[in-house]
């Protein structure tokens, strides 16, 4: 009873903050108030959701007399939504804290302040909703508010285009979800989730609804090939908002998919799992390859979001395919891969704390032990190994291939974040701005370091988190993993110790202890002298910083290996003959085949149809009347034939 009410109240508080933001937006001090209120709202909602997740397993529900008069708006918190509420509000709290400092540099706060709390409220409401109507209204609210945030810097032409594409894709996604709910509600029009859950859809309706949800939620999550808007829109928003969009809104889309596919539709067929599996695997690999080709750090992170989402969907596809226990939990743990650390623009020497937080984030996203990313990746690998005895031949082919794809994307992600961190934080400053960069303010630092600490904590004791998540997987697949808290030393043992086990805490302790011991022994017994000198560089150091490796040169070998097929990458090198003073040039051409093959034909088709239909605007009144008459008669004929 309480937790749903508390979270609803905080959503109301955020909405009030949004109104206040519109009122005080331009005044001094207004920024701090709005972000402080959203921080408070997120913290309260976080506490309520955590209490629900750890405490009672009983779902709590609230019905408000809003919306359609004979339906009302149903809201409900169960284990699944409580978990996603934790994700939303954790991200929201961190982003608000960050914005307390960062928001002061915003040049047009009036365009951000009203929408930021409203965005938070919208995301909370989507997770709370318990009927199709409330869900769709909240979903559309969330989309529109985030669109307003994307175009908040509207003077840049790029951002307006990004906003337009985002709006089109978001409407398309909502349309798909609307149709999916329509199918699930059936002819009786039972739009609340409880009756959808009780109803057993036929195989055809079930798979159609699943396909529609995959389209709707997948377009929001950035699943390839519905990802095109994401790398445009996410970097266009202010940094704290793009962190929310990458870190939280994509997870909301995953929530929508999980809610509908596992909870409302029910028993899936194996080929549906395979579709999700293959889409997830291709998103993971393509996302990280795109990310490697980027020069813009925010865009790189946006593509890496696509990769992450792909990995989560891969886990979900596995869960759909064989309902293995604990998989939901693995995928869910993956979803928490807190990736909001998204500030840059300096160097490790000038910004030590920021670079440390970013480094922790990189290691976590890359899935290196002992941080949280590895724990979830490890669980997914174990899931692949758990189920070789599948009855379907197609699955026998695709599951090991998906495992290979996951491994490939993990390795490429490591390359990608070596590039992201190495090129932006290490090396010599490439510009005057980088040379004089200063550490960010206290609030932003606190937010980043708190998230980094969470990444480390979640990686060290994955067993505890898995236990907290077990009601979630219990409600999803009606099975659960063995309780992990009773295992000695907090290790993770999915099936049996002789099969596989992993202990983040001990691995971390061993690595830390042996690194410390080695350093201590060497400094104590060998030498501790240090002399600073110019870089060696094989005897020919070049003083100019432009001689160092850039991001493009770093990823050149990978572009050459993978890019010639995936991006049709072409390199053109012009070297003038000796004696010619012109500089040598290299031009690289990358093509986005998804954009050219899928979106341009659709856009061209829509344009063509609009051109043709344009004639309808210039008819005489008699023609309009006859048009209406013909339409009416043909509809009646159709109806007569149908019934």
Partner 1 sequence: MGLIAALLVQGGQMALVLIAAPLVVGLVRKVKARLLRRRGPSPIQPYRDLVRLARKEVVLAENASWLFRAAPYLIFAATWVAAALVPTFARGLMFSWTADLIAITALLGSARFFLALAGLDVGTGFGGIGSSREVLIASLAEPAMLLMVFSLALVAGSTQLSTVAEVMSSSAGLRVSLGLALIALVMVALAENSRIPIDNPATHLELTMVHEAMVLEYSGRHLAMVELASALKLTLYLSLIACLFAPWGLARAGAPAGAYLLGTALFAGKIAIGAVLLAVFETAIAKMRVFRVPEFLGAALMLGLLGTLLLFFSRSL
Q: How far is the CB of 477 from partner 1 (least distance, A)?
A: 22
Q: Count other Cβ atoms within 10 Å, centred on residue 534.
A: 7
Q: Which is nearer to partner 1, 63 or 500 (CB)?
A: 500
Q: Out of 397, 595, 608, 629, point to the residue binding partner 1 (CB under 8 A).
A: 397
Region of 149-157, 221-229, 264-272, 397-405 interacting with partner 1 (CB under 8 A): 397-405
Scan residues 290-319 and list those touching partner 1 (CB under 8 A). Answer: none
Residue with tokens 């490697």: 292
Q: Under rule CB under 8 A, which residues in 333-352 are in contact with partner 1?
A: 348-349, 352
Residue 617 burial by Cβ neighbours in a 10 Å radius (0-12, 13-18, 19+) = exposed
Helix axes 203-221, 250-258, angle to 10 degrees: 170
Residues within window 483-542 making contact with partner 1, judged by CB under 8 A = 491, 497-503, 506-507, 510-516, 518-519, 522, 526-527, 529-538, 541-542
482 interacts with partner 1 by CB under 8 A: no
Smaller CB separation from partner 1, 183 or 364: 364
Our CB check for partner 1 shows the closer of 305 and 386 to be 386
Interaction mask 427-466, partner 1, x per CB under 8 A: xx--------------------------------------
- Tell the smallest beta-carbon distance from residue 173 to partner 1 (Å): 32
Which residue's CB is nearer to partner 1, number 10 or number 304? 304
Considering the complex, state which of residue 47 and residue 368 has its C-beta at the smaller distance from partner 1. 368
Q: Which strand (E) or helix (H) includes residue 60?
A: strand 60-64
Q: Per residue, what are the HEC states of 287-320?
A: HHHHHHCCCCHHHHHHHHHHHHHHHHHHHHHHHH
**In Å, how far are 57, 76, 85, 252 from 80, measured between CA atoms?**
10, 11, 9, 12
To partner 1, the closest distance from the beta carbon of 510 in angstroms equals 5
Residues 1-30 contacting partner 1, CB under 8 A: none
Min separation Cβ 423 and partner 1, Å:
7
**Smallest gap from residue 6 Cβ to partner 1 (A):** 40
* Cβ(292)–Cβ(419) below 8 Å: yes
Return d(Cα 130, Cα 74) in angstroms, integer.
Answer: 5
For residues 411 and 453, which CB has a smaller minimum distance to partner 1 in the complex?
Answer: 411
Give the whole-angstrom CA distance, residue 400 versus residue 393: 12
DSSP 8-state symbol, 225:
T
Rule CB under 8 A: say whether 359 interacts with partner 1.
yes
Q: Are strands 570-574 and 585-589 parallel, antiparallel or unpaired?
A: antiparallel
401 is a contact residue toward partner 1 (CB under 8 A): yes
By CB under 8 A, tell whether 327 contacts partner 1. Answer: no
C-alpha span between 322 and 527 (Å, rounded): 58
**DSSP letters spanning 451-484:** HHHHHHHHHH-HHHHHHHHHHHHHHHHS--PPPS
Rounded CA separation 237/380 (Å): 32
Give the single-character DSSP code of 347.
-
Among 19, 394, 411, 637, binds partner 1 (CB under 8 A): 411
Contact between 283 and partner 1 by CB under 8 A: the answer reads: no
Could you say which residues in the range 548-587 bind partner 1, by CB under 8 A? 548-549, 553-558, 560-561
Of 54, 426, 603, 631, which lies in the binding site for partner 1, with binding defined by CB under 8 A?
426
Query: Least separation, in Å, of the C-beta of 593 and partner 1?
Result: 21
Residue partners of 163: CB distance under 8 A and separation at least 6: 147, 150, 151, 154, 233, 236
We find the least distance from the C-beta atom of residue 512 to partner 1, in angstroms, to be 7
**340's tokens:** 């909001």
Nearer to partner 1 by Cβ, of 533 and 639: the residue is 533
Q: Rule CB under 8 A: which of 367-386 touch partner 1?
A: 367-369, 374, 377-378, 381-382, 384-385
In which element (H, E) is residue 75 found? strand 73-77
Min dist CB 576 to partner 1, Å, is 22
Please tell me the count of residues contacting partner 1 according to CB under 8 A: 87
């Amino acid at each position: 009873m309480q937790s749903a009410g508390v979270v609803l109240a905080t959503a109301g508080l955020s909405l009030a903050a949004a109104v206040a933001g519109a009122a005080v937006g331009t005044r001094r001090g207004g920024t701090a108030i709005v972000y402080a209120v959203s921080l408070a709202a997120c913290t309260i909602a976080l506490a309520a959701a955590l209490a629900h997740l750890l405490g009672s397993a009983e779902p709590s529900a609230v019905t408000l007399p809003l919306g359609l008069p004979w339906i009302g708006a149903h809201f409900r918190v169960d284990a699944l939504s409580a978990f996603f509420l934790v994700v939303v509000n954790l991200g929201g709290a961190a982003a608000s804290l960050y914005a307390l400092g960062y928001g002061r540099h915003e040049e047009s706060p009036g365009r951000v302040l009203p929408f930021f709390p409203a965005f938070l409220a919208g995301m909370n409401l989507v997770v709370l909703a318990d009927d199709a109507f409330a869900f769709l209204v909240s979903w559309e609210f969330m989309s529109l508010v985030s669109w307003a945030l994307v175009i908040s810097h509207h003077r840049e032409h790029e951002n307006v285009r990004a906003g337009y594409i985002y709006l089109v894709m978001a409407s398309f996604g909502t349309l798909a979800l609307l149709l999916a709910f329509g199918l699930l509600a059936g002819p009786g029009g039972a739009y609340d989730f409880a009756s959808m859950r009780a109803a057993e859809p036929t195989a055809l309706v079930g798979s159609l609804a699943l396909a529609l949800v995959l389209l709707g939620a997948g377009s929001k999550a950035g699943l390839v090939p519905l990802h095109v808007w994401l790398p445009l829109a996410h970097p266009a928003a202010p940094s704290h908002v793009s962190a929310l969009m990458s870190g939280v809104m994509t997870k909301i889309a995953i929530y929508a998919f999980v809610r509908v596919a596992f909870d409302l539709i029910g028993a899936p067929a194996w080929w549906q799992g395979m579709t999700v599996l293959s889409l997830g695997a291709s998103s993971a690999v393509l996302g990280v390859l795109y990310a490697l080709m980027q020069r813009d750090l925010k865009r790189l992170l946006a593509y890496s979001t696509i990769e992450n989402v792909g990995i989560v969907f891969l886990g979900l596809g596995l869960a759909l395919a064989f309902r293995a226990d604990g998989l939901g939990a693995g995928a869910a743990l993956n979803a928490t891969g807190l990736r909001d650390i998204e500030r840059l623009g300096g160097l490790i020497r000038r910004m030590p704390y920021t670079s440390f937080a970013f480094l922790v984030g990189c290691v976590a996203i890359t899935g290196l032990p002992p941080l949280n990313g590895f724990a979830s990746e490890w669980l997914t690998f174990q899931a692949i190994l758990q189920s070789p005895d599948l009855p379907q031949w197609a699955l026998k082919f695709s599951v090991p291939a998906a495992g290979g794809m996951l491994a490939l994307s993990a390795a490429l992600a490591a390359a990608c974040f070596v590039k992201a961190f190495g090129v932006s934080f290490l090396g010599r400053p490439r510009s005057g701005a980088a040379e004089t960069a200063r550490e960010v303010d206290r609030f932003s630092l606190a937010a980043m370091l708190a998230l980094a600490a969470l990444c480390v904590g979640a990686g060290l004791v994955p067993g505890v988190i898995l236990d907290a998540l077990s009601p979630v997987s219990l409600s999803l697949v009606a099975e659960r993993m063995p309780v992990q808290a009773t295992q000695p030393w907090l290790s993770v043992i999915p099936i049996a110790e002789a099969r596989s086990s992993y202990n983040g805490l001990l691995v971390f302790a061993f690595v830390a202890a042996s690194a410390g011991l080695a350093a201590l022994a060497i400094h104590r017994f060998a030498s501790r002298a240090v002399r600073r000198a110019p870089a060696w560089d094989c005897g020919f150091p070049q003083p100019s910083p432009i001689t160092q490796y850039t991001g493009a040169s770093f990823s050149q070998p990978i572009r050459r290996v993978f890019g010639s097929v995936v991006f049709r990458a072409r390199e053109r090198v012009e070297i003038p003959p000796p004696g010619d003073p012109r500089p040598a040039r290299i031009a690289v051409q990358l093509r986005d085949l998804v954009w050219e093959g899928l979106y341009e034909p659709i856009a061209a088709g829509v344009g063509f149809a609009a051109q043709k239909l344009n004639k309808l605007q210039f008819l005489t009144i008699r023609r309009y009347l006859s048009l209406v008459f013909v339409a009416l008669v043909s509809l009646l004929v159709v109806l007569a034939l149908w019934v």
